[in-house]
Amino acid sequence: MAWAVSGAYRRGVDLRRLASFLAVAEEGHFGRAAARLFLSPPAVTAHIQQLERDLGVPLFERSPVRLTPAGHRFLGHARGLVDGANAALADMADLTEQADTLRVGVMGHGSAELTPAVIAAFRHLRPHVELKLEALTFTEHTSALLEHRVDVAFVRPAVTDERVTVDVLTTEARIVVIPARSDLAAAGELHLADVLDLPFVALPPHTPRPFTDYLYFTEARGGEAPRPGPDHAVTPQEVLMSVAAGRGAGSALSSFARFYRWPGTVCVPVVDAPWDHSVLATRTGDRDPDVQLFRGLARSLAPRFHSAAGPYSGAGPYSGAGPGGAHPLGGQQDRRDQGDHHADAGAAAGGAVGD
């Protein structure tokens, strides 16, 4: 069936003229219609005159201003056209909201190789969503998320705050980072008793307690504070600078050694330290579909990195000159709110991450 195209359509129906027509019809006055539309009266008059020329009929009697029979007939059509245009804009605005920004916070190296894999898979599934990566300091363990500066966050250790939901992504052995010229540097492995008296880098007072306890092995030292080194640090780079200068020590998950090969430093496993986690943290109750998809991708992809690097063999320390090992991913993961995102994640994993 061939659709006929009217002369009015070929010339184009201007929504501004329709808006002026509806305003004059409802106000019964050109001046008040102009004020309502924030236009000048001559502009409204011009809109009506052009619309009447397009339709070939008068729409208003001028003294007093009232609709002609043709104007009454056109009134319903005009309202339908304007309402339809507004509905179309509202529908597209919803798509615009979906095509928003997802802000991803990453503390240090995040969850090792899993972090860039999750980001790549998300981009594969949601190419219209802008991703912004934000580096987080030790002091932003939870604050960046709770202050809505990021939407998801790769942090360590697990957050203990009811306002935050965590998905455990890796469970890894612990290491200490010490100067290469330290008496302990040549040891193939260390025990907690060997490291608790080291001068650990100092953290700012507002650093969240879970991170402080993690860095200092607080449980193993019975809650006592460590012997402080002279330097403060809020990033891995600051820790490494202090360690390389022989002024302090730090601790980390075992994957740290693969990402931070810093001359003058050595990473040595602490074999009797409890293993700890890296997690993906999100705000509890956040139902944003992009956040939920990102969580599903992280959970789905984690097992693919199970054999990416075997557990540390204990044959020697990790040094800045070469790679170390990492324990496979594991631990209990938060399985809430997965819905259909798990299926999406599996599909994205095949498309964005190789087997």
3-state secondary structure the chain: CCCCCCHHHHHCCCHHHHHHHHHHHHHCCHHHHHHHHCCCHHHHHHHHHHHHHHHCCCCEECCCCEECHHHHHHHHHHHHHHHHHHHHHHHHHHHHHHCCEEEEEEECCCCCCHHHHHHHHHHHHCCCCEEEEEEECHHHCCHHHHCCCCCEEEECCCCCCCCEEEEEEEEECEEEEEECCCCCCCCCCECHHHHCCCCEEECCCCCCHHHHHHHHCCCCCCCCCCCEEEEECCCHHHHHHHHHCCCCEEEEECCHHHHCCCCCEEEEEECCCCCEEEEEEEECCCCCHHHHHHHHHHHHHHHHHCCCCCCCCCCCCEECCCCCCCCCCCCCCCCCCCCCHHHHHHHHHHHHCCC
pLDDT the model gives residue 18 = 92
pLDDT the model gives residue 149 = 94
Q: How far apart are CA 36 and CA 282, in angstroms?
A: 46
Condensed to tens digits (0 to 9), the pLDDT of residues 94-147 reads 555 544 899 999 999 999 999 999 999 999 999 999 999 999 999 999 999 999
CATH 3.40.190.290 fits 101-352, yes or no: yes
Q: How far apart are CA 295 and CA 126, in angstroms?
A: 14
pLDDT the model gives residue 86 = 78
Q: Where is average pLDDT lowest: 57-61, 234-238, 320-324?
A: 320-324
Q: How far apart are CA 29 and CA 65, in angstroms?
A: 6
pLDDT the model gives residue 336 = 40
pLDDT the model gives residue 85 = 83
pLDDT the model gives residue 160 = 84
Instruction: Return the percentage of the chain with pLDDT > 90, whole number.
Output: 68
* pLDDT over threshold 50, residue 294: yes
* pLDDT over threshold 90, residue 348: no
In what side-by-side order are the strands of the sheet with 276-283? 130-136, 101-107, 152-155, 276-283, 164-172
- For domain 8-98, which architecture applies? Orthogonal Bundle (1.10)
* pLDDT over threshold 50, residue 245: yes
Condensed to tens digits (0 to 9), the pLDDT of residues 169-205 reads 999 999 999 999 999 999 999 999 999 999 999 999 9
88 pLDDT band, cuts 50/70/90, is confident
10 pLDDT band, cuts 50/70/90, is very low
pLDDT the model gives residue 303 = 84
Q: Domains of the chain: which residue ranges?
A: 8-98, 101-352
pLDDT the model gives residue 44 = 92
Single-letter amino acid, residue 314: G
* pLDDT over threshold 80, residue 51: yes
* pLDDT over threshold 60, residue 3: no
> Average pLDDT of 313-338?
37
Asked if 8-98 and 101-352 have one fold, the answer is: no
Q: How far apart are CA 325 and CA 270, in angstroms?
A: 13
Find the distance separating the first CA and the last CA of the chain, reported in whole Å: 51
Instruction: Return the percentage of the chain with pLDDT > 70, whole number.
Output: 80
